[in-house]
Amino acid sequence: MTKPSTGETTQQTFLQMTNPKPPPELLGAPPGTIPNLVNPVNQTEFFIVLHSICLVIITLGLAMRLYTRKFIVKRLKVDDYLCVFAYLLTVAGTGVNLLATLEGNGTHIWDLDWEGDQLKRIFRASQFTQTALDFL
Query: What's phi and psi for 134, nearest 5 deg?
Result: -65, -25
Predicted confidence at residue 1, as pLDDT, reads: 46
**pTM, rounded to two decimals:** 0.64
| pLDDT tens by residue, 118-133 | 667 667 766 766 666 6
Determine, yes or no, domain membership for 3: no
Exposed, middle or buried by CB within 10 Å (0-12, 13-18, 19+), for 84? middle
Determine, yes or no, domain membership for 90: yes
Determine, yes or no, domain membership for 128: yes
Which of the listed ranges 2-6, 8-12, 27-31, 130-134 does the model predict with the highest average pLDDT?
27-31
Instruction: Decide which of 44 and 136 is more confident.
Output: 44
Domain that holds residue 57: 42-134
Exposed, middle or buried by CB within 10 Å (0-12, 13-18, 19+), for 66? middle
* Number of folded domains that form the chain: 1
Determine, yes or no, domain membership for 2: no
| pLDDT tens by residue, 14-70 | 555 555 666 666 667 777 888 787 888 888 899 899 999 999 999 999 999 999 999
Question: Residue 72, Cα to own-chain centre: how many angstroms?
Answer: 39
| pLDDT tens by residue, 71-123 | 999 999 999 999 999 999 889 888 888 887 887 777 777 777 767 676 676 67
